[in-house]
Amino acid sequence: MANDDMIQFLQKYQKIPQDLNIDEDVRYFDEIINYIKNCNFKNIVETSTVQKKKYGEKDFEELTNNAEVCLQDYDINPAIINYKDGIVEFWSGLNTDQKGNFTIFELNIMLFLISNQYNKYMKKDKKRVIAFLNDVVKSKRMEKSYKDIQV
């Protein structure tokens, strides 16, 4: 969206607090509009783009050595944090493209969440880690289904 379009959009919605006599909101709209007029918005966007921190084996060891796993301390996909207790079902519901979007660090975290047995960092290429994770999830689901069978 170009600066002129943003300004027109803001001016359009500035009329609402004007009609409702909300002076503070009108003042905020004015400040935002003036800010956009007085700066080069593209430069702000470009300089504020932050790259994700790259995590590796040492970070994984630090994570797995703690008594309580604090995933929030790492810049990882929020879905992993949300589904950390049901990671097997979460992984099963993903398609191939979605699985490929995870970093090797995130894949290793998911393996660790499935079982503490996988507390060694896999340095293999992403496709091999994904294939291994698929096999682990498949075996965990089969194990669960065998437990659920009532004779």
pLDDT digits (tens, 9 = 90+) for 22-55: 888 888 888 888 877 776 544 444 444 445 678 8
* Residues 48-74 pLDDT 10s: 444 567 888 888 888 888 767 778 888
Report the interhelical angle of 126-148 vs 104-114 (nearest 10°).
20
Three-class secondary structure of residue 22 per DSSP: coil
Residue 141 phi/psi, 5° resolution?
A: -65, -40
Closest by alpha carbon to 55, among 115, 121, 124? Answer: 121
- As a whole number, the mean pLDDT across the chain is 82
- Rounded CA-CA distance 74/66 in Å is 14
Supply the pLDDT for residue 135: 94
- Rounded CA-CA distance 142/123 in Å is 27
Are 135 and 85 in contact, with CB atoms under 8 Å apart? no
Distances (CA, A) of 149 to 36, 62, 86, 135: 64, 39, 20, 21
Domain ranges of the chain: 3-48, 57-148
* CA 21 and chain centroid, separation: 40
Supply the pLDDT for residue 123: 85
